[in-house]
A and B are shown apart, each in its own frame.
Chain A
Amino acid sequence: MSENSTRRQFIEGSCRVLGFVTIGGAAGLLTQRASANAVYQVDPFKCTSCDLCRTSCVLSLSAVKAVNDFEKCGYCMLCPAYMDVMSKPDERGIPTGKVCPQDALKRRVVGKVDTDDPNNNYYEYVVDEARCDGCGKCVKACMAPAGNASLRLEIRYSRCVECNECAIQIVCPDRAIVRVAAPGMAPAGPVR
């Protein structure tokens, strides 16, 4: 009787251990796969362009860059993200100061060009990522109602070193740094 009981206990114990190992292994495998397919990214709906992306990234020039969404951009002549609209105007009434301290936002005329009057032209705005430090001043200036909110901050995967724990995520007051599916992977939503 006691011998049978011991054998049963042994089988039960073995099954329990096996079950735990299987579940744990599967969980570990899934977590590893999920984290391998996920990357850090800025949630533009939470981000308030607080400047911590510039100062907190472990890289000397932050992996966070401003990105212009051309679908939303108004191609304004008086772009509030490009020009400091409160700066001293020139003789034509156009502000002379710029918003970007790095001069990373560049513009060029697109479409029909009127060389006499700049007010008659549309301008395309492109971020020079080699200069952009992710301070977000342009993003803030482009927010509605002043602008069309076409600029946003994004983590560039080509620069991000995928720290075990993102230094920006730790300090971000808006919890705007989230884990999302890596480009090319199924959009599984935020992992954590």
Chain B
Amino acid sequence: MEPNDRDATSVSVRDRLWKAWLPGVAAVGALAALVAGSLRLRPTPRAAPANPQPAGAPGPGGQADTPAQPVRRFERTYSQSAALGGAASPERFFRSLTGIAVGPDDDIYLLGDDEIRVFDARGSRARSWQAPAHAGCLAAGPDGRVYVGSPDRVDIYDAGGAHLTGFTAGEKDKPADVTAIAVVETDILVADASARIIRRYGPDGKLRGLIGNQNKTGGFILPNRSLDVGVDARGVVYATDTGRHQVTAWARDGSPLGKFGKFGMSAPEDFVGCCNPVNLAVTPDGKVVTGEKMVARVKVYDPDGTLLAVIGPEHFDPSTTHIHLAVDSRGRILAADPMRREVKIFSLNQTLQERERP
């Protein structure tokens, strides 16, 4: 073979190889583009968090993290409309804030710094008077009277602060630990965390009945020694059962009417931690408002347990063990944070139907 022939042969081989490689390279390139395209279309996989938090739980910076659950639209939303007390307020509490109540004319009664302070609905202080020693809770009756609970005693004042009467709660050898009071008609309902029951007294201090002792193991389960009570417009008594993670409903004669709630760390309907909900109030339209610790938040439920609204932990001190609650005639929720010694007032914005109305 001549050298020229060899060259011609090698050129033709190169040509053939080139012609064969070209579609191959093009095919590989197209395949790579396809793979890259499909990868880009796929969502980036995210590793599961090592220590997932309950929905709405504060992150390290104190701000609410992205909820673990998909974003939910609740039936109701609330926004803060006012505040009372607090570090910057001239009406600040210096040592304690342990109780809150709303009177029939929407006056706000606050128990703290060993006194009872009364504010009008706009937040201006109307009057104040000395509280009994070691007072820890208070309630305002429909008759305008103010009921103040001390560890084993209930004192009754008129709206102006004049002491009317009082009685010892509990039994002689087993004094009560009064943690909450609610008043309906002539019944004074006294939450006794020591005996783990609610005692129903008359205005004369005579015991009329017990609520909560019909449980299988006799009384509420209260690991944190806190029992709260509220009454709706129909006279249904609601109580917190913190160890069981439930809100329980009772008739005034002590017969059980229902309950809702369970333990859970992710679903917002559930109650977190060892013992929740710690506080409770009832709105004029019969909704149950609960206060929780560990994830300090306030939630609004239908009496059947349907969650309607969540007021998140960004509003409260993360280390608080209570959020004392009261509701006024307009449905505003008043939440007293004992750690910050501040009351925040939340107003209902719109219901879901109102928001979605064209």
A interface with B by C-beta (< 8 Å): 74-80, 85-86, 89, 93-94, 111-114, 116-117, 119-122, 144-148
Q: With both chains docked as a complex, state the minimum distance between the C-beta of B190 and any C-beta of chain A, in angstroms.
A: 22
Q: Is the CB of B244 within 8 A of A85?
A: no
Q: Is the CB of B294 within 8 A of A76?
A: no
Q: Is the CB of A114 within 8 A of B216?
A: yes
Residue of A80, A86, A114 near B51 (CB, 8 A) is A86
* Residue in A closest to B223 when the chains form the complex, CB atoms: A74
A78/B321 contact (C-beta < 8 A), A85-B273, A114-B216, A148-B224 known: no
Q: Is the CB of B215 within 8 A of A145?
A: no
Q: Which residues on B sit within 8 Å (CB–CB) of A86?
A: 51-52, 265
Per-residue 0/1 for B249-283: is the Cβ within 8 Å of any A Cβ (1 yes, 0 no)?
A: 00000000000001111000000111100000000
Q: Which residues on A sit within 8 Å (CB–CB) of B182?
A: none
Could you tell me the distance between the alpha carbons of A100 and B284 in the complex, rounded to whole angstroms?
Answer: 46
Could you tell me the distance between the alpha carbons of A93 and B264 in the complex, rounded to whole angstroms?
Answer: 7
Q: Is the CB of A119 within 8 A of B319?
A: no
Could you tell me the distance between the alpha carbons of A111 and B222 in the complex, rounded to whole angstroms?
Answer: 14
Q: Which residues on B sit within 8 Å (CB–CB) of A120?
A: 215-217, 221, 244
Residue of A78, A114, A121 near B273 (CB, 8 A) is A78
Q: Which residues on B sit within 8 Å (CB–CB) of A119?
A: 221, 243-245
Could you tell me the distance between the alpha carbons of A122 and B243 in the complex, rounded to whole angstroms?
Answer: 9
Q: Which residues on A sit within 8 Å (CB–CB) of B51?
A: 86
Q: Is the CB of A147 within 8 A of B221?
A: no
* Residue in A closest to B246 when the chains form the complex, CB atoms: A119
A80/B274 contact (C-beta < 8 A), A75-B223, A111-B217 known: yes
B interface with A by C-beta (< 8 Å): 51-52, 215-218, 221-225, 243-245, 262-265, 272-275, 293-294, 296, 318-321
* Residue in A closest to B322 when the chains form the complex, CB atoms: A145
A-B residue pairs in contact (CB < 8 Å), sample of 9: A74-B243, A78-B263, A85-B272, A85-B273, A86-B265, A119-B221, A120-B215, A145-B319, A148-B223
Could you tell me the distance between the alpha carbons of A119 and B220 in the complex, rounded to whole angstroms?
Answer: 11
Q: Is the CB of B223 within 8 A of A145?
A: no
Q: Is the CB of B215 within 8 A of A85?
A: no
Residue of A79, A93, A94, A145 near B296 (CB, 8 A) is A145
Residue of B224, B294, B296, B318 near A74 (CB, 8 A) is B224
Could you tell me the distance between the alpha carbons of A175 and B272 in the complex, rounded to whole angstroms?
Answer: 33
Interface of B is mostly: loop
A145/B264 contact (C-beta < 8 A), A74-B274, A80-B273 known: no
Residue of A79, A85, A117 near B216 (CB, 8 A) is A117
Q: Is the CB of A114 within 8 A of B217?
A: yes
Q: Which residues on B sit within 8 Å (CB–CB) of A93?
A: 262-264
* Residue in B closest to A142 when the chains form the complex, CB atoms: B274
Q: Which residues on A sit within 8 Å (CB–CB) of B244?
A: 119-120
Q: Which residues on B sit within 8 Å (CB–CB) of A79?
A: 274
Q: Which residues on B sit within 8 Å (CB–CB) of A75?
A: 223
Q: With both chains docked as a complex, state the minimum distance between the C-beta of B168 and any C-beta of chain A, in angstroms.
A: 24
Q: Is the CB of B275 within 8 A of A121?
A: no
Q: With both chains docked as a complex, state the minimum distance between the C-beta of B157 and any C-beta of chain A, in angstroms.
A: 32
Q: Which residues on A sit within 8 Å (CB–CB) of B224?
A: 74, 148
Residue of B218, B222, B263, B293 near A145 (CB, 8 A) is B293
Residue of A78, A89, A112, A114 near B274 (CB, 8 A) is A78
Could you tell me the distance between the alpha carbons of A75 and B225 in the complex, rounded to whole angstroms?
Answer: 11
Instruction: Other than A145-B320, A148-B224, give 8 A-B pairs with Cβ distance below 8 A.
Output: A74-B243, A76-B274, A78-B273, A86-B265, A112-B218, A119-B221, A120-B244, A122-B243
Which 5 pairs between the two chains have the least Cβ-Cβ distance? A74-B223, A76-B223, A76-B274, A145-B293, A112-B217
Q: With both chains docked as a complex, state the minimum distance between the C-beta of A5 and any C-beta of chain B, in angstroms.
A: 70
Could you tell me the distance between the alpha carbons of A85 and B57 in the complex, rounded to whole angstroms?
Answer: 14
Could you tell me the distance between the alpha carbons of A148 and B275 in the complex, rounded to whole angstroms?
Answer: 10
Q: Is the CB of B275 within 8 A of A74?
A: yes
Q: With both chains docked as a complex, state the minimum distance between the C-beta of A88 and any C-beta of chain B, in angstroms.
A: 11
Could you tell me the distance between the alpha carbons of A78 and B321 in the complex, rounded to whole angstroms?
Answer: 17
Could you tell me the distance between the alpha carbons of A77 and B217 in the complex, rounded to whole angstroms?
Answer: 14
Q: With both chains docked as a complex, state the minimum distance between the C-beta of A191 and any C-beta of chain B, in angstroms.
A: 33
